[in-house]
Amino acid sequence: MQADLCIIGSGYAGVCAYDAACQYLKPGSRVIVVDRNALWGGQWIDQYDFVRLHQPYQIFTAGSREWAISKSKPPDYLANKTEILSHLRDIVAMATSDSGVELVELFGFEYIEHHSAGGAVEVRIKPCPKAATGPNQPVVPDNLSIRAARVIKAIGLDVEIKRPLRLTACNVHSISPKDVLSPHWKAAVRFSDKPIFVIGSGKTAMDVINHFAGSGLSEGPKGPRVHCVSGRGTWFINRDRAFPLGRDWGSFFERNFGGTFILQNFLDMLELHDGDNELEVYREMGRRDFFHSPIPHPRIFALGILSTREAATVRATLGDRILKKRLMDVATGVDGQPVMRLRSLNGTSIEDRPIPAGSFVINCTDSLFTTDKINRFEPILSDDGLVCSPQTAVGFTGPGADIITHAWYLGTLERFWRELPRPELDPPNKHKGGMMLIYLLTISSMLAAKHLPMALNRSRKSSPSSVLPQHRLVWSIMHLLWKFERLHTKAKMMIPGRWYDTQSQHGTQRFSELDQEPVTMHSKI
């Protein structure tokens, strides 16, 4: 099978890469997209149904593409799962129509490997296992080959959808966030008075707790029933301060005249950072009200965004039912009743805490730290220049795929990709991860943007600064330009890894879904 371009992945990164590439391909060019899912959307396809964007929907896009809902929804509206998936597919449809390319969607296929041969790239794929079998099913070869002039590996973070925790006790209900709205578990939770234990304190945990509060399930006949085993606790960007897009007078004043926007706060964080003081930097952002958290004394930051109202709802729903410990297991006690086995944050003590039989345990633990893909990487550009792998080169995978793909087709990627810092996630020092992402979102994005046409940079709506009024946007950019060289030098010292390195400094590790201690990739979870 021949193609002018083969894109591996049809999630947010794949959509952005396709949209960018279509602006350079000639009409009639064939683009083959390979993904194990059945449609465009990546992780959003299987996320829990009550998930919503936590950032302004306008910036969750590809390049300059606008949302269809922008004419009917206010700027501070939080797009839901159906709207997110619809927008991603709209982008693909618009890019195909505008460019006149021939799009071939090989959904239900999995990437195996690729190699260069004769000035092109041979990509091997295989069909994913299918539940349906029978005489009417088409016969598909075990391995297929695509010969493409160019290849983009737009796999993104390949986020794993949360699954129920594997618990020892049989008399508790272990479920995932996606199960919450399934008919069986929705009824089971509604017609039970047993406690609900949310495991984790990140974005998913906040969504789950807000969902229970909004649906009236947080209170039972015996009183409040939602608890949180929070681990170290998570800081969130205060959406009302970072994106004051409301229609009230307070938001209008903040947006046009007062406050400091997200870019200025990110630059302040980089200036405060000395390589070992991440917790102090996060606390300072908390004092400025740019960060906040419903969990007392949080320690982790992963670029999550939460409104003041959502945080207040979580606080009211949880009250004092917050356990700042790590869940190791729910086991069966000597009396046959379930007990939560909890480890202290410093790992020095273990506590068994009885819970009622029939309790619900919902896995909201970290998605990124429960994958064996941590710290796996490859060169952004292959030696022959035919394979481009954006990965997390400039922070978020979608905007990164957009920027890197444009630079690749414009011939400027070779000039700067080796300069881009490559951060690594160090599981025992998880609190450092958020700070590393700030470097990518500011310094790496600016470094890449300097090699793109000004008109292209100005039209991009996926930048967080794109929602600013024009006069505030100009000031933010001037602020960044003034500090860029100094902070770029600092970034190179703070993040020694580069995308051309031969190996990871920390190695590929996997976290247990429960106690969050690193174990080897081959350990049984």
* pLDDT tens across the length of the chain (525 residues): 999 999 999 999 999 999 999 999 999 999 999 999 999 999 999 999 999 999 999 999 999 999 999 999 999 999 999 999 999 999 999 999 999 999 999 999 999 999 998 999 999 999 988 644 445 545 566 778 999 999 999 998 877 888 999 999 999 999 999 999 999 999 999 999 999 999 999 999 999 999 999 999 999 888 899 999 999 999 999 999 998 888 787 787 777 777 667 888 999 999 999 999 999 999 999 999 999 999 999 999 999 999 999 999 999 999 999 999 999 999 999 899 999 999 999 989 999 999 999 999 999 997 554 445 567 889 999 999 999 999 999 989 999 999 999 999 999 999 999 999 998 887 778 899 999 999 999 999 999 999 999 999 989 998 877 777 777 777 777 878 889 999 999 999 999 999 999 877 766 544 444 444 333 222 222
Q: Does residue 309 sit in the same domain as residue 197?
A: yes
Q: Does residue 223 sit in the same domain as residue 331?
A: yes
- For residue 41, CA distances in Å to 85, 86, 434, 483 come to 6, 9, 25, 37
Q: Does residue 61 sit in the same domain as residue 182?
A: no
Residue 222 inside a domain? The answer is yes
| DSSP secondary structure letters along 140-178 | --S-EEEEEEEEEE--TT-PPPP-----S-SSSEEE-GG
Residue 143 inside a domain? The answer is yes
Q: Let me know if 335 is exposed, middle or buried by CB neighbors in 10 A (0-12, 13-18, 19+).
A: exposed
Taking alpha carbons only, the member of 492, 464, 495 closest to residue 480 is 464
Final residue of a structural domain among 407, 427, 447:
427
Residue 433 inside a domain? The answer is no
- For residue 211, CA distances in Å to 51, 60, 148, 473 come to 9, 23, 46, 35
* Torsion angle in degrees (nearest 10) through CA of 207, 211, 214, 215: 180
Q: Does residue 330 sit in the same domain as residue 389?
A: no
Task: Give the tokens for residue 482.
Answer: 């003034």
Predicted pLDDT at 373: 59
Q: Does residue 301 sit in the same domain as residue 220?
A: yes
Q: Render pLDDT for 186-212 as a digit per residue (tens, 0 to 9).
A: 999 999 999 999 999 999 999 999 999
Q: Does residue 119 sit in the same domain as residue 133?
A: yes
Q: Does residue 83 sit in the same domain as residue 140?
A: yes
CATH number assigned to the domain comprising residue 208: 3.50.50.60
Final residue of a structural domain among 365, 394, 412:
365
Q: Render pLDDT for 351-401 as a digit per residue (tens, 0 to 9).
A: 999 999 999 999 999 755 444 556 788 999 999 999 999 999 998 999 999
Residue 186 inside a domain? The answer is yes
Count of the separate structural domains present in the chain: 2
Final residue of a structural domain among 341, 365, 389:
365
Task: Give the tokens for residue 141.
Answer: 């070869």
Domain range holding 197?
173-233+296-365
Residue 18 inside a domain? The answer is yes
Q: Does residue 133 sit in the same domain as residue 208?
A: no
Q: Does residue 320 sit in the same domain as residue 389?
A: no
Q: Let me know if 396 is exposed, middle or buried by CB neighbors in 10 A (0-12, 13-18, 19+).
A: buried
Residue 281 inside a domain? The answer is no
Taking alpha carbons only, the member of 298, 372, 369 closest to residue 514 is 369
pTM of the full structure: 0.91
Q: Does residue 151 sit in the same domain as residue 177?
A: no
Q: Does residue 31 sit in the same domain as residue 109?
A: yes
Residue 525 inside a domain? The answer is no
Q: Does residue 347 sit in the same domain as residue 376?
A: no
- Across the strands, what pairs with 343? 326, 350
Residue 282 inside a domain? The answer is no
